[in-house]
Structure 1
């Protein structure tokens, strides 16, 4: 077993600044006019090259986008509907949406306390990227981290990247880091629809502020009036995550100061003159129903999200629409997303209600755990609520038992005896078992796996143990994978390139007597591995590429709690376009020069 890696501040430092608000922007930054549209709106009508508005074009002989849907028929979308299986019937609008994103060092004060950070287009969260179902996204990402001298990348979380593996945005796996001053263009198809987010996959930058929302407009499994967009849930501290990482190496995960809702919150008690910062305020109009797109963008916090006195209807998990179900709160692990609908039907109870994002103590550690709140208000302006939270048990649960995918799918039965004894190495039956923390990934920024395969290294035996490679050579085969841990904390497990089926979750040791759900089980891209338990996953090898699977606790990703699947390597040379291959070589060449000129040393897992 390899040793756990330790990060160095010379590599991971950030500088930086702020203005409180629903997203915060550094002092002196240019403010773009990014619009937050509802899913009924057609986007991308601008024609100028702005970093905040997309440029839209149409390829010849392809249909133009339709008008989408209305509040009374959200299950419809153009010639398709909520029952359309896009894995069988792909949607293609022929529209290209083009965005320009710039990553820079900033100084921010989202809770009123100034510290360094990083931002996308000068704000945290960064601008939301909009597309319609079936559009193609073309996103130019420039590294302007001239103070911290960090490399960077952007990963499009949950986007399957069907046959666009080189655009997944993972250093050491699908690309070299983008050097300071360089630009990389990511191109991918919006084959799914719903809510997701983008974030850096370089070191701990995602938790320094390098993230933003993705909205792919399409049908929904329940009707609603208005779309309020993303609600990002972040943990936050007066120290940077890079500084805190060294503490975590000595004493375990550090205690963080507070949390943020869409990049803002207060520090201190209400009514105290010393309180700083500002709360997120959300206006409700009685009788209206609102869609909210929840994202857990925390480094190490599992939340319960709720709005006092209100009931939520959950309509999707990650990018998978589900049969609607009602809840007074939602459990949300790191990297997970839930779309909810809230009806404004409590104006007779009060004018102001707390919106709560509550860390669960068994898997989180925040000082101001009871003060991570926004205000939902009926009327002209918000005031401090006096409402009480819903009842719940402090726990690190997943929503799995409630999730019934709207488009039903079945999973082929596995050989359970083989599944229970498979190892982390490849198995002749395509069955695997990974004991978390039994191996530590260590891959090289300068030599991404995709490039190695394109250059002819498709021999599984050529990879070292530290690269944590698992080969999936056959096309369209079922893969069954057990993730297990003896550690007393849960772990959010995220798979790139696929939505996986959750066949079982539980505490204790997995064995062949565990009942697997094969009849339309929940499917998603991020699910919780229970404390001292197991997670059984399944997916099909329908997407050639190199795909990372990792724990989405930020500290653990950087320490190398990850494996990489090389799927159908023999087909990858044809799956990577000539343009992607040329860009890969160019980005790596510029990175090599930058790395040598600035004596950059890799001291983390590489992902």
Structure 2
């Protein structure tokens, strides 16, 4: 049958700027002065359906193209971004209040090609030769789509010594679990010199990122932003390119599983400055980056009314660090958390845990502290520090002793595009507490959720974060999700060559050895509650944990700091079920708990894990098999093209993985380096959890 979608091909290789070794050039400096078009009425008149450049597009000549939406027109304006498409004849709209879980416009298919390669980058003044990159770019190329589009990505693995799989963080993958990109769960790794094609539908809109899910590989460079254009709950004029913030260790993340890095830096928009860490030029330093810069236009679009408002799209893509983002003398209006549009609220800083994203709108009107204007006076030169603070105890960087305040100055906002001076501005008073509870308390989704009662017991199921006190089943294992009523659960580890997707029809004792399976059965209307408890008095946990659930948004129905979860206390469980905060990453408090709830309406196998890369690598993960019978209807054994494709990928992987000639050079038969197997021990290729 012919597809009803029009194919729209985008070549990302030539549409993205490489952030390379010369930091003093213009590669990372953006001026957004009227670049983005809004309404192409002439295109509508010619084609009879909406074709328009969305506000905030970052790929040249990118347009939203709704070929099947005859009679609809784009309806957003800078003063009202809440409307997306409107049919002037029927009055039907797709807007900020549309329930995007049940309704979305019909877009086109966009095709991207990603080459995964070994490479070199200089992100901060030190050369890094063990990078793994998308299309030889750092950060990787932006994937851009419009609400309702189908996105097709061809991933070609050209790495020499690693498999890979690519996860589309926060994309719900409704009934497309096999496209979630988690090796050992939804697929085998894509072997070197082979490829895999991912396809998913943009049912949500907003900002996220895509990254490798092959162990800690993403922290070596395999990460990049995703933008899905759609409505917004607050007016703005222009949008800044998505801004990533990450920690950077200047050596491979695969080494950092075994030891802490000694020169960790902060990269904003892919750029950092190692001099700020060391206080002086380091050995082997090449060109030193100046820093990430953005420019605001201080000319008002309408001098009678107001200054310009800019949309900033923030993404934490770190290995280990939770950041607090602020801009001196500028307030934020927060309008989106993860992929969830929220009722606008104001802040001077925002805490972003690993994997979390925020949309914030910043007006080009600097302000001072209303209660003490002398604390942060306005500068004469129009230059302001952008700061990425490390939350207390939430990152290896937080152990740094030195010029702490300067270390957090990672970018500059300028009103004069000819200025090269460093700002002299003072920071807002920022709480460095590593907790997102205060922010989640302010999050009110625009599309309300009424959460049902738990279907898995009176209060749901409890999982404790357990730190192992003795050796685990593999070299780096030291974490697990522990059920209070069972000691069977051990640190999670995937089976790269035998993913769960190929075991959907298993029953009883057919599960592979070592799997602990807790069978449960729900309907698409049921709600499952998970009580995640990090206040384990026997084995105190290592700091807060950013917990990410694949395949779902979840409601945060309760979140408590410094409180021991006691299920026997009748006053302990106090769920907020009336439009609670909704997102896909929650920062589990260091000494507290969070209760999350999700609706079991997406059959398949979904990973839940800590997004601190070496915590997931150390076993802090679990799988949720959701409605197994329904999953077997969607992917019937012996009669599923998706399962057939998975078998093909696994055949290539197993052929490559168990051939010892494919290991790192110099390790064939090597018994002196315990981190790599010899030919006689080839089965032990995997030395961590795999996720």
Provide the TM-score with structure 2 as the length reference. 0.75
Higher-Rg structure is 2
Q: Structure 1 regions of 5+ residues with no counterpart?
A: 1-20, 47-51, 249-253, 425-431
Cα separation, partners in 2 of 1:508 and 1:434, compared to 1, 3 Å = farther
CA distance change for structure 1 residues 414 and 574 in 2, over 3 Å: closer, same or farther?
Answer: closer
Instruction: Quote the residue 1:102 is aligned against.
Output: 115
2:141 is the alignment partner of 1:122:
no
In the alignment, which residue of structure 1 is the partner of 2:686? 602
Instruction: Tell me the equivalent position of 2:189.
Output: 177
Q: Deviations over 1:553-607 (max 9, x none)?
A: 0011111101101111112233249432232111111111111222571111122
1:375 aligns with 2:412: yes
Give the secondary structure class of the aligned counterpart of 1:393.
coil
* Equivalent residue number for residue 214 of structure 2: 202
Counterpart among 632, 635, 649 of residue 573 in structure 1: 632
Query: Which residue of 492, 496, 499 corresponds with 1:448?
Result: 499
Partner of 2:571: 513
| Aligned residue number for residue 543 of structure 2 | 489
Is 1:551 the counterpart of 2:610? The answer is yes
Gaps of 5+ in 2: 1-15, 41-49, 54-58, 86-92, 299-306, 368-377, 465-480, 663-681
Retained in 1: the 8 A contact 2:379–2:424?
no
1:365 to 390, 396, 399: 396
8 Å contact kept, 2:76–2:231: yes
Distance apart, 1:418 and its partner CA: 3.7
Deviations 1:421-444 (A, max 9, x none): 7579xxxxxxx9857996311220
Cα deviation, residue 38, structure 1? 5.6
Query: Residue 236 of structure 1 corresponds to which residue in structure 2?
Result: 248
Judged with a 3 Å threshold, the aligned counterparts in structure 2 of structure 1 residues 256 and 573 are, in CA distance, closer, same or farther, namely: farther
Corresponding position: 1:327 with 2:327: no
Match of 2:677 in 1: none
1:91 equivalenced with 2:104 (yes/no): yes
Shift of 1:462: 3.8
Match of 1:71 among 75, 78, 82: 78
> 1:22–1:261: 8 Å Cα contact kept in structure 2?
no
Decide whether aligned partners of structure 1 residues 272 and 447 sit closer, same or farther in structure 2, where only a CA change above 3 A counts.
Answer: closer
- Deviation of 1:124 after TM superposition, in Å, equals 1.5
Aligned partners of 1:258 and 1:369 also within 8 Å: no
CA shift at 1:112, angstroms? Answer: 0.9
Shift in CA distance, 86/421, structure 1 to aligned 2, threshold 3 Å: closer
Q: Distance in 2 between matches of 1:201 and 1:239?
A: 19
Summarize the alignment of residues 189-338 of structure 1 with structure 2, pairs less than 5 Å apart: 189-248=201-260, 254=261, 256-269=263-276, 276-286=288-298, 287-338=307-358
Return the alpha-carbon distance in structure 1 between the equivalents of residues 449 and 170 of structure 2: 19
CA RMSD after TM alignment: 3.3
Deviations 1:122-169 (A, max 9, x none): 1121111111111111110111112xx100011000000001110000
CA distance in 2, matches of 1:23, 1:125: 8
1:276 counterpart SS class? coil
Give the one of 366, 376, 391 matched to 2:429.
Answer: 391
Pair 1:157 & 2:164 matched: no
1:593 aligns with 2:642: no
**Which segment drifts farther, 133-142 or 116-125?**
116-125
Q: Which has the higher contact order (CA 8 A, sep 6+)?
A: 1
Q: Structure 1 134/239 Cα, relative in aligned 2: closer, same or farther at 3 Å?
A: same
TM, length-normalised to structure 1: 0.85
Q: Is the 8 Å Cα contact of residues 23 and 263 (structure 1) preserved in structure 2? A: no
Q: Deviations over 1:366-400 (max 9, x none)?
A: 14753241000001234200001110222101021
Indicate conservation of the 8 Å contact 1:320/1:523, yes or no: yes
